């Protein structure tokens, strides 16, 4: 009998779906990937057809299984997915009743602002660790129920199910037998109390979401269900599930308080492990669940940047300055400096620590000497500057300062960007051998549940560094660059927002 030592991870992202099979040494054996269509029905609206997502998840999983030697070797399956994106479907048929509303979608900005004016944000923050912002799932659910004819009545009658993408995939993979979500994805809905670890009735009432819609709650690692045998030829235990950024925290083996990772995909998400106690942010960062295993919760402090890799995609698809993202490395090194050009990529508003949904993108400092290389460099630099703002806010909140930052995601493959990031943060930056840490985290969670790995400590010994980037910039130059960034952000924000006041702190550090 073939020994089952392989783990299949389905990594469902904002613009693509991939499936990867890992062996017991966490080496990638097979990868299959599909991009899917983004829908923009109105300005600021972003939707996904979840039938596209399901098709791609199934096709890529089958391809990866076949490439890695067959289903007989698969010990378990882990799921990781984009967070906050929400979908409603019929319990009787499993069919979605509307396209999924994506985390980037801003259609509920006015509704969130109204709740904020009514004084609800303090309660929401105390219970969830989140802010009142269109980013999170709850207001999206409210919009669907209030704007699609008949949905609210059907939801109250128990005919519909709600879930983030992980939940929908689990439902489909189990043939409709399991309607559940893990605590990390639940913690991003603004309906889940991160202290009681339950759906919260006061939050449900605030957003007018019927209890009948909600999935059951589960740990990130455990017996979550079995796949329908018709999908892959035999049933596979589903043993791990986590939101993408939480999965990356696990994939980067950030298991001790003070360890931090930043994932550079469509957006950038920086998570700092804060241990078994949540840290309340006074700088508009998010308190979230890092992971829960065996009923034991580890919390994290998170900063969310809405546009990271998406800025590079805009250079390619919007401005047509490049044909491939890798060209930005060469363009950034083609010029000796930024020439005073800054880009603030507020294409869908600004995330932490500003949380300005009405902000829009800005390029400033242009002169007749500015070139496309300066603009490309400014796009890369903007992501590092935004990461600095997050790291500074975490320190100001009293969280343990990370001695190094572990990075992953597409942009982390860019050597120039990784070095600039280390320079701006004034911190060592570690890049792992395998940049697919989101999928790897889902695999680790599933492998823990199925016996491929025995403990987090064992997983920590598997993590490997590919390259270390150490700061090599003059402190006075760093301060000058940061002052220019702060000025650019100030120009971008809509009144009455203000930039995070860090200039004096930077000056003190430089002195």
**Binding-site residue set for ADP:** 14, 18, 266, 309, 410, 414
Long-range pairs for 254-260: beta carbons < 8 A, 24 or more residues apart: 254/290, 254/406, 255/298, 255/456, 255/457, 255/459, 255/460, 257/400, 258/399, 258/400, 258/401, 258/402, 258/403, 259/402, 259/406, 260/391, 260/394, 260/402, 260/404, 260/405, 260/406
Residue 94 token pair: 């499993």
Residue numbers in the known binding site for glycerol are 83-84, 135, 244-245
DSSP 8-state code for residue 433: S
Q: How far, in Å, CA of 275 to CA of 296, rounded? A: 10
- Rounded to the nearest 10°, the torsion over CA 480, 482, 487, 490 is -170
Residue numbers in the known binding site for ATP are 14-16, 266, 309, 410
Which residues 6+ apart lie within 8 Å of 126 measured at CB? none
Q: How far, in Å, CA of 94 to CA of 163, rounded? A: 12
Q: Is the dihedral of CA 349, 355, 359, 363 positive or negative?
A: negative
Query: How many Cα atoms sit within 13 Å of 452 on the Cβ side?
Result: 33
**Number of other CB atoms surrounding residue 327 within 10 Å:** 15
Strand, helix or coil for residue 168? helix
Bridge partners, residue 19, by sequence: 10, 32
Residue numbers in the known binding site for sn-glycerol 3-phosphate are 14, 83-84, 135, 244
ω into 496 cis (within 30 of 0): yes
Residue numbers in the known binding site are 14-16, 18, 83-84, 135, 244-245, 266, 309, 410, 414
Residues 460/28, Cβ–Cβ less than 8 Å: no
Strand bridging mode 100-101 / 160-164:
unpaired
Continuous H helices in 318-359 = 327-334
Q: How far, in Å, CA of 451 to CA of 440, rounded? A: 16
**399, 402, 420, 400: which is closest to 411 by C-alpha?**
420
The string of DSSP codes covering 441-488 is: HHHHHHHHHHTSS--HHHHHHH--EEEEE---S-HHHHHHHHHHHHHH
Strand, helix or coil for residue 255? coil
**Number of other CB atoms surrounding residue 330 within 10 Å:** 12
Q: Is the dihedral of CA 352, 358, 361, 367 positive or negative?
A: negative
């Amino acid at each position: 009998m073939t020994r089952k030592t392989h783990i299949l991870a389905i990594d469902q992202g904002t613009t693509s779906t991939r499936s990867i099979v890992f062996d017991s040494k966490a080496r990638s054996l097979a990868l299959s990937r599909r991009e899917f269509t983004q829908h923009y029905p109105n300005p600021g609206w972003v939707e996904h057809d979840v039938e596209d997502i399901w098709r791609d998840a199934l096709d890529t999983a089958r391809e990866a299984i076949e490439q890695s030697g067959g289903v007989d070797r698969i010990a378990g399956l882990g799921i990781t997915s984009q967070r906050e994106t929400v979908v409603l479907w019929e319990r009787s048929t499993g069919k979605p009743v509307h396209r999924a509303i994506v985390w980037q979608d801003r259609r509920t900005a006015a509704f969130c602002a109204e709740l904020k004016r009514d004084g609800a944000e303090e309660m929401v923050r105390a219970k969830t660790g989140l802010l009142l912002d269109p980013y999170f799932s709850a207001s999206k659910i409210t919009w669907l129920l209030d704007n699609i004819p008949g949905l609210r009545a059907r939801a109250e009658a128990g005919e519909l199910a709600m879930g983030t993408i992980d939940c929908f995939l689990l439902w489909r993979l189990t043939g409709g037998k399991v309607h559940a979500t893990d605590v990390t994805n639940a913690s991003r809905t603004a309906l889940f109390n991160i202290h009681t670890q339950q759906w919260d009735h006061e939050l449900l009432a605030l957003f007018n979401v019927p209890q009948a819609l909600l999935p059951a709650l589960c740990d990130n690692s455990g017996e979550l269900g079995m796949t329908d045998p018709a999908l892959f030829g035999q049933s596979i235990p589903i043993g791990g599930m986590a939101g993408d950024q939480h999965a990356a925290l696990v994939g980067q083996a950030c298991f001790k308080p003070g360890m931090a990772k930043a994932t550079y995909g469509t957006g950038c998400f920086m998570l700092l492990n804060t241990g078994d106690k949540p840290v309340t942010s006074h700088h508009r960062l998010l308190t979230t669940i890092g992971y829960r295993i065996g009923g034991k919760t580890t919390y994290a402090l998170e900063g969310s940047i809405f546009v990271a890799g998406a800025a590079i995609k805009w250079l390619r698809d919007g401005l047509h300055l490049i044909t491939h993202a890798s060209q930005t490395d060469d363009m950034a090194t083609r010029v000796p400096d930024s020439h005073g050009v800054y880009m603030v990529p507020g294409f869908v508003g600004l995330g932490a620590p500003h949380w300005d949904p009405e902000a829009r993108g800005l390029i400033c400092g242009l002169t007749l000497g500015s070139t496309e290389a300066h603009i490309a460099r400014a796009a890369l630099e903007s992501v590092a500057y935004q990461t600095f703002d997050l790291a500074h806010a975490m320190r100001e909140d009293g969280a343990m300062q990370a001695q190094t930052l572990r990075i992953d995601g597409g942009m982390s493959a860019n050597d120039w960007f990784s070095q600039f990031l280390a320079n701006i943060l004034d911190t060592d930056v570690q890049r792992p051998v395998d940049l697919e840490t989101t999928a790897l985290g889902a695999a680790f969670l599933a492998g823990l549940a199925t016996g491929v790995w025995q403990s987090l400590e064992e997983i920590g010994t598997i993590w490997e560094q590919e390259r270390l980037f150490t700061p090599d910039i003059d402190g006075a130059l760093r301060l000058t660059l940061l002052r220019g960034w702060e000025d650019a952000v100030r120009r971008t924000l809509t009144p009455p927002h203000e930039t995070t006041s860090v200039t004096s702190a930077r000056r003190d550090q430089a002195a």
